[in-house]
Amino acid sequence: MSNNGLKQHKVGVIGIVGMIYAMTAAGAYGIEDMVSSSGPGMTVIMLFVLPLIWAFPIALASSELGSAIPDECGFYRWVQRALGEFWGFQIGWLKNIGIYINVAVFVVLATDYIASYLGLTNFQSYICKVVIIAVFTWINLRGIKDVAIVSSIISGAILVAFAGIAIIGFLNFSQNPFEPVVATGQTVIGSIGSSIAIGMWMYAGYESMSSLAGEVENPQIIPKAIIIALPLIIGTYVLPTVASLGAVGQWDKWGSEGVSYVDVAMKFAPAFGVAFVMVAFISNISMFNVYLASGARGFFVMAEDNLAPKALVKCDKKHGVPYVAILSLSIVSLILCAFKFDILVTIVSLFNLGLYSLIMISQMVLRRKEPDLPRPYKIRLGKVGTDIFCTIPIIVAFIALFINGTDYFVMGLLGMISGPVAYIVFKRIYGGLYKNDPVKYPINKKTKLAVGDTRRIAFAFGLLAVLMFIGRLFLPGYEDHQYYADTYGVDGMFDIFMTLITIAAIICAVLSVIFMVIYNKTDAKDVVNE
């Protein structure tokens, strides 16, 4: 039993590789939409490029940070240690709110595969969702060891299934899988924008295994597991995609409701095709399974820091798991699984950009702030090399913010505004780290926030305002305005988005000025060497 009340379990490298694979990949489902929207050539290019400029740097930074600070909910502790309480809360908020939505995404996807194959009614589909949520809630309430076992079994089945698709596709290879490079009528930038929206979602989640570090007896094996898992994930994406495009073509008809990997199996090996549909179902419930475990423990640690409701700290005495947090995730999933997949993903996608940017910034800050911190795994590129390595994903995130789509931009940034607001509310209600150690984490008696928080909040709102103003200038010339009218069924929808961005930008700018004034009047004299 760890000192925070969570039971530690003996989980090997293979078990953790299975969990990472399930959490970050669980099959190539979703890539079908990249093919038709961006073109087969661009899709394959992005599947190779994104691991290098996005997934690999994040995975290695998470490995170093996770080995140096193998605490429960690692990403939260990394940022808190590097940047302080406020920014630690921001990444915890972004990650955990995203998970509350994301868990429902996988239930919806899993049920959609089965519903499409069996012809289920809406009511039958919802009953299926309820059963999935109930079963995996029970598994997670049993403890992390059971989750690792289930994840390893499921991940093995997914690897076998996609290996089968790759073999079948290559054996029936009959055409160039890379043509055209760019979808008809698309520009190169437009095609990249279409690919990067889904691709970054496909290559996400590498920090999540650190959420369980506090419950694994030997957390130093997590970096090793990440490095093993990444090539498996790349192979799972690239090989079946190239093989399938070479076997069946029809790139412009690919999609979750069109031509897919299932068609390759059904055309050349019908019996295997039926099994593959089942694996598609298993793939997504495995994602739900592992994210339920990870997400529950995120708010658990924030509650220990008096930055979230204390009820989330309650653990089951027998299994040592935060059962209240797990049950709250399950209840939210029951509500959100009534929504469509694209709506849920739109809300989640942009949260990851801020989350991973904070992780990479923390990696660079901790290298300077604590150069002698023991790091069982360390990125060996030197100071300048590591900075460049960590800056690349931040640049990618910045670009993706503006080319993902205006709806992603609006919903994501509006969601990010909730972070500083939630911090102010929870800090004032629950006290934050001040209640744990008043000397180490002093507060301003007037604002009841940590010393210097008003300046941090001013910076956060100012940054959001700047991003929104940049978007307001860039998006009108980049986007197809009619696309949003057609997609949402509302004439002038793009103009509505622009109005929302303008209003939100002005509000954030005003709040930034207000908090900076408060800082100068109440906080500045107490801040030393910040």
CB 272 within 8 A of CB 162: no
- The Cα 47–Cα 496 span in angstroms is 34
Return mean pLDDT, the chain. 85
Are residues 432 and 284 part of one domain? no
**Percent of the chain residues topping a pLDDT of 70:** 90
Are residues 334 and 192 part of one domain? yes
Of 202, 204, 201, 206, the C-alpha closest to 223 is 206
Q: What is each CA distance from 228 to 5, 16, 158, 223, 224, in whole angstroms? A: 30, 10, 16, 9, 6
Q: Is the per-residue pLDDT at 80 higher than 90?
A: yes
Q: Is the per-residue pLDDT at 329 higher than 60?
A: yes
Inside any domain, residue 390:
no
Q: Residue 9's beta-bridge partner residues?
A: 216
Q: Is the per-residue pLDDT at 34 higher than 70?
A: yes
pLDDT, tens digit, 9 for 90 and up, residues 354-380: 999 999 999 999 999 999 998 877 888
DSSP letters along 193-258, please? Answer: HHHHHHHHHHT--TTGGGGGGGGBS-TTHHHHHHHHHHHHHHHHHHHHHHHHHHHH--GGGBSTTS
Residue 313 DSSP class:
G
Inside any domain, residue 143:
yes
* Count of other CB atoms within 10 angstroms of residue 522: 16
Of 36, 95, 103, 34, the C-alpha closest to 62 is 95
Are residues 415 and 331 part of one domain? no
Segment 425-452 shows an average pLDDT of 92
Q: Is the peptide bond before 180 cis (omega within 30 degrees of 0)?
A: yes
**Token pair for residue 272?**
């295997």
Selected residue with higher pLDDT from 73 and 60: 60
- The Cα 94–Cα 298 span in angstroms is 11
- The Cα 92–Cα 208 span in angstroms is 11
Selected residue with higher pLDDT from 311 and 50: 50
Given pLDDT bands bounded at 50, 70 and 90, which one contains residue 216? Answer: low
- The Cα 481–Cα 491 span in angstroms is 10
Are residues 162 and 117 part of one domain? yes
DSSP letters along 17-42, please? Answer: HHHHHHHHTSSSTTHHHHHHHH-HHH
Of 199, 263, 241, 252, the C-alpha closest to 52 is 199
3-state helix, strand, coil in the chain (%, to 5): 75, 0, 25
Are residues 475 and 326 part of one domain? no
CB 465 within 8 A of CB 508: yes
Q: Is the per-residue pLDDT at 71 higher than 80?
A: no
Q: Is the per-residue pLDDT at 89 higher than 80?
A: yes
Inside any domain, residue 2:
no
Instruction: Give me the domain span that covers residue 468.
Output: 405-530
Are residues 128 and 237 part of one domain? yes
- The Cα 496–Cα 33 span in angstroms is 27
**Token pair for residue 495?**
């103009």
Which CATH number do you get for residue 111? Answer: 1.20.1740.10
Residue 189 is inside which H or E element, if any? helix 188-202
Inside any domain, residue 530:
yes
Are residues 468 and 338 part of one domain? no
Are residues 169 and 200 part of one domain? yes
Are residues 416 and 334 part of one domain? no
pLDDT, tens digit, 9 for 90 and up, residues 38-49: 899 999 999 989
Are residues 181 and 298 part of one domain? yes
- The Cα 174–Cα 528 span in angstroms is 68
Inside any domain, residue 43:
yes
Torsion on CA atoms 512, 513, 519, 524, rounded to nearest 10: 110
pLDDT, tens digit, 9 for 90 and up, residues 112-136: 777 777 778 888 988 999 999 998 8
Q: How many domains does one find in the chain?
A: 2
Inside any domain, residue 220:
yes
Inside any domain, residue 155:
yes
CA Rg value for the chain: 23
pLDDT, tens digit, 9 for 90 and up, residues 235-247: 889 999 999 999 9
pLDDT at 529: 46
Torsion on CA atoms 400, 401, 407, 412, rounded to nearest 10: 130
pLDDT, tens digit, 9 for 90 and up, residues 453-496: 999 999 999 999 999 999 999 999 998 888 888 888 888 999 99
- The Cα 225–Cα 168 span in angstroms is 29
* Range among 8-12, 222-226, 351-355 rated most confident: 351-355
- The region of weakest confidence among 117-126, 263-272, 417-426 is 117-126
**What are the residues whose beta carbons fall under 8 Å from the beta carbon of 44, sequence distance 6 or more?**
177, 178, 238, 241, 242
Given pLDDT bands bounded at 50, 70 and 90, which one contains residue 164? Answer: very high
Are residues 348 and 210 part of one domain? yes
Given pLDDT bands bounded at 50, 70 and 90, which one contains residue 431? Answer: very high
CB 291 within 8 A of CB 208: yes
Tokens 């990870």 belong to 294
- The Cα 194–Cα 74 span in angstroms is 31
Inside any domain, residue 392:
no
pLDDT at 147: 58
Are residues 43 and 158 part of one domain? yes
